[in-house]
Amino acid sequence: MTLLAGTLGVEELASQIITVNVSATLFMVPLGIQEAAGAIVGNCIGANDVLMAKKFFTLISKLALVTIAIMCLLTILLRREIVDIFTQDSEVKSITEDVLLLMALFFIFDGMQTFMQGPIRAMGIQRKASYFAIATFYLIGIPLAFVLVFYTSLGLIGL
């Protein structure tokens, strides 16, 4: 995606880099939750206590959703301040603030799919999930991004 952003211009590329850095930082929280969830659910399944695994999964899912929603809300409310950490260029700031708004809304889904990786591994269904992830990213995500960037007026937001 950064390669596509690089074809749009210097300001768009700078905005993409800032957005990727913010996204990667936010990504660490659901990543930690998924590691813990995978261990807890896996231990319950290993102990043949499926009912407890389901209870933990439900509890941790709610925790993850609330945590991710708070992170998204903070990103939306503080996007100008976040961008100020990275740049003072007014054009880059304008582009990045718009992109961060969209990224924050999208992060609800990205954060939850990140969290779900732990329980998916604990249940042993990662092969099926991997096929789905690969198909949606390469067959839908990248072609759709290409179309939105180059055949609409969305520019970087299309990524």
In a domain, 113, yes or no: yes
For 21, the token pair is 């850095």
In a domain, 136, yes or no: no
In a domain, 63, yes or no: yes
In a domain, 90, yes or no: yes
In a domain, 4, yes or no: no
Rg (CA), the chain: 18
In a domain, 42, yes or no: yes
DSSP structure string for 13-28: HHHHHHHHHHHHHHHH
122-135: per-residue pLDDT in tens?
777 778 888 888 88
Say if CB 3 and CB 145 are below 8 A apart: no
58-77: per-residue pLDDT in tens?
898 899 899 999 999 999 99
Q: How many CB atoms lie within 10 A of CB 130?
A: 12
What pLDDT does 121 receive? 75
In a domain, 150, yes or no: no
pTM above 0.75, yes or no: yes
